[in-house]
Structure 1
Amino acid sequence: MKAVVLAAGKGTRMLPLTVTMSKGMIPVANKPLLRWTCSFLDFCEEIILVVNESQRDIISEFINEKKVRLVFQEQALGTGHALIQAEQLVDGKFLMIYGDDIYGEDDIKAVSEMDGIVMSSFVSDNPKAYGVLEVRDGHVISLEEKPGHPKSDLVNCGLYLLDKSVFVALRSIPLSPRGEYELTDAIKILIGEGKVKNHTIKTWIPLTYPWNILDANRHMLDKYGSSIDRSVELRPGAVIEEPVSIGAGSIIGPNCYIRKYSSIGRGCKVGQAVEIKNSIIMDNSFVSHLSYAGETIIGRNCNVGGGTIFANLRLDDKNVKMEVNGVRVDSGRRKLGAIVGDNVKFGTRVTVMPGKRIWPNLLVPACMTIEDDIKSEVPLSKYGTPRNEEEMPSQRLEKTGE
């Protein structure tokens, strides 16, 4: 059996992380999302990975994989159009899966062993946010996108067992109002023909928003346990509360407290008396002495000055909201810190308020309080490494609500 993995999306709701990396390459428990997906599909004879040509990080990661075949979607015309790119490479039944969500390994295998066309569902406590299935006698009889009054709590989770008939259906659908060919429109045709079975899976973590990465990180650490590379240096007084993941060559300084569900990448340095809680620190980033990061994601090659605080709790104890594509979105989380892009340098004693985003390649001067998303328009390389606070380009900091 073959599997088709759709991974060509731009991931705009994951900004600022996806300014410099593809969504499928965001690390969860120190492994890119697509690596997890492909490992769960290892039983397949071939994995067809649909990407776009600008995703150089995905291409570099998988170009030499014997079992993975890269296929390019030249135009961003939707999930249906993406699947059509693999039409000539599949025969008979095949799996189709979204490459940037988390599924259970056992669930994927179970779907692959079924007969006919299968649409996987998941029991959701918020079905209004997804496509909702109506099921009768094991068959899907309707699919409605984001209904105001859902007919069930079963939602479409993007894991399918398909055959060549899906391509016939895809060629009969028009462009959607978004200007895309939607895979779900083709699935609705197959539903109308009575061909689609339902299979409800146990594990699905949709990675829609940045905080969902923290959900996925926690799930993977819970399921697969801690991973601390042998080369990691733990200095006296450091406390590690498992499960955590710490990559090769990292140094955990004296009297640090690395709390459970934290992932620290390769080549990182965590300074004296730093506390990291339920956070992701990506490769080659430094978090200097006396800093705190709670429910925070820090990108690659960042340098966090001493005494910096990534706050994660509102004073009024309400859910933290985050700006996403110009809309204030309730994270559903009482605790949520910052989302920091790659190559950001912080001066000392910076405070970042809950739910804020900081774009890549930014210098953040010392003693600032970040109360809004900060977006950089000027590359860090223009300035080099400043020698003191006066040389930092504070006038270049721009507040943005997108």
Structure 2
Amino acid sequence: MKAVVLARGLGRRMRDATPSARLTSSQLAAADAGLKSMLPIGNGQGHPFLDYVLSALADADCLDVCLVLGPEHDAVRRHYEGQGRPRRVQLSFAEQTTADGTARAVLAARNFVAGDPFLALNADNLYPAGVLRALAGLDGPGLAAFERGALADESGFPAERVAAFALLDVEEGRLRRIIEKPTPERMAAAGAHALVSMNVWRFDHRILEACRDVPVSARGEHELPEAVALALTRGVEFRAIPARGPVLDLSRRSDIAAVTRRLAGREPRP
């Protein structure tokens, strides 16, 4: 199974200074550059966070991986073509010239996809290998649907972060729609058992057409959830598979200590 890892973001939240976050010099350099995926985790020099993401994909038998980067991310490419070259996954690269949204990031990998099914996931989230494996095992498009309360408990996310996750409207295991940025009232009404998205998907070639055609959002980007919504209107069905297990999020400097604790003693094998 192929996988597309979205690493084109500008890392604005990671660039923001957090006085309470204690970082090593190498972590500070990566954070200042907004290179979340390259932030070293662990003792000594550590391993780039992306190594753990690639290792989880390898554990899920997703061995053909494309990393979507920006033109300013040469250091990432040089690392993975040089001393950081993975041993278990075959790594390709695609360039998203401008940071114009996650739909365009997926579209940038169209030559790599070449008509095959693939997983798409964030470079700054570490998903359980079992969730990735379950998605890869589907016979069509789908996404991981995490129960809101369990995700908060297992991942240790602060309540305000969980409240901002996209709500999923699911009926008989099929995705009906995605509610981005739900209001506090809507999220409260949905309850702890509400299903939320962590932006990990299984797609086929039809998503590329939707990513090409989706209009610019109110935020000025071509966004992947809106491309999925467009695909739904065109008759593409998405299975929503129940997902459990901690998801690690490396979006902010304040996340680094918690992610480091979670990964202590864990050696990535990309």
Q: Considering the TM-score relative to the shorter chain, is it more than 0.5? A: yes
Instruction: Give the aligned partner of residue 302 of structure 1.
Output: none
Instruction: Give the aligned partner of residue 336 of structure 1.
Output: none
Instruction: Give the aligned partner of residue 270 of structure 1.
Output: none
Instruction: Give the aligned partner of residue 198 of structure 1.
Output: 240
Is 2:90 the counterpart of 1:47?
A: no
Instruction: Give the aligned partner of residue 165 of structure 1.
Output: 206
Normalized per residue, the structure richer in helix is: 2
| Distance (Å, rounded) in 1 between the aligned partners of 2:94 and 2:198 | 23
Q: 1:92-111 residue pairs with structure 2 within 5 A?
A: 92-111=116-135
Specify which of 103, 108, 133 is matched with residue 85 of structure 1. Answer: 108
| Distance (Å, rounded) in 2 between the aligned partners of 1:53 and 1:161 | 26
* Percent identity over paired residues: 27
> The residue matched to 2:50 in structure 1 has which SS?
helix
| Distance (Å, rounded) in 2 between the aligned partners of 1:135 and 1:36 | 30
Is residue 36–residue 250 contact of structure 2 (8 Å, CA) maintained in 1? no
CA deviation profile, 1:6-63 (whole Å, cap 9, x unmatched): 0011111112442246111112232211111111122234210001121233112212
| Distance (Å, rounded) in 2 between the aligned partners of 1:140 and 1:86 | 24
| Distance (Å, rounded) in 2 between the aligned partners of 1:99 and 1:20 | 15
| Distance (Å, rounded) in 2 between the aligned partners of 1:21 and 1:169 | 29
Is residue 176–residue 182 contact of structure 1 (8 Å, CA) maintained in 2? yes
Is 2:112 the counterpart of 1:120?
A: no
Moved more, 147-156 or 67-76: 147-156
The one of the two structures with greater contact order (alpha-carbon pairs below 8 A, sep at least 6) is 2
> The residue matched to 1:10 in structure 2 has which SS?
coil
Q: Return closer, same or farther for 1:215/1:170 CA change in 2, 3 Å cut-off.
A: same
Q: CA RMSD in A?
A: 1.9
2:107 counterpart letter in structure 1: I
Q: Return closer, same or farther for 1:72/1:94 CA change in 2, 3 Å cut-off.
A: same
Instruction: Give the aligned partner of residue 215 of structure 1.
Output: 258
Q: How far is the alpha carbon of 1:157 from its aligned partner?
A: 0.5
Q: How far is the alpha carbon of 1:178 from its aligned partner?
A: 1.7
Larger Rg: 1
Q: Return closer, same or farther for 1:25/1:194 CA change in 2, 3 Å cut-off.
A: same
Is 2:30 the counterpart of 1:14?
A: no
Is 2:57 the counterpart of 1:69?
A: no
Is residue 167–residue 178 contact of structure 2 (8 Å, CA) maintained in 1? yes
TM-score, normalised on structure 1? 0.53
Q: 1:123-202 residue pairs with structure 2 within 5 A?
A: 123-125=147-149, 126=159, 127-148=162-183, 149-150=186-187, 151=190, 153-192=194-233, 193=235, 195-202=237-244
Is residue 122–residue 204 contact of structure 1 (8 Å, CA) maintained in 2? no
1:200 counterpart letter in structure 2: P
Is residue 26–residue 32 contact of structure 1 (8 Å, CA) maintained in 2? yes
| Distance (Å, rounded) in 2 between the aligned partners of 1:34 and 1:211 | 18
Runs of 4+ in structure 1 over 4 Å off:
none
Normalized per residue, the structure richer in strand is: 1
> The residue matched to 1:129 in structure 2 has which SS?
coil
2:52 counterpart letter in structure 1: W
Long gaps (5+) in structure 2: 18-27, 150-158
| Distance (Å, rounded) in 2 between the aligned partners of 1:194 and 1:8 | 26
| Distance (Å, rounded) in 1 between the aligned partners of 2:72 and 2:112 | 22
| Distance (Å, rounded) in 1 between the aligned partners of 2:262 and 2:174 | 30
Is residue 120–residue 202 contact of structure 2 (8 Å, CA) maintained in 1? yes
| Distance (Å, rounded) in 2 between the aligned partners of 1:217 and 1:191 | 38
Q: How far is the alpha carbon of 1:226 from its aligned partner?
A: 6.5
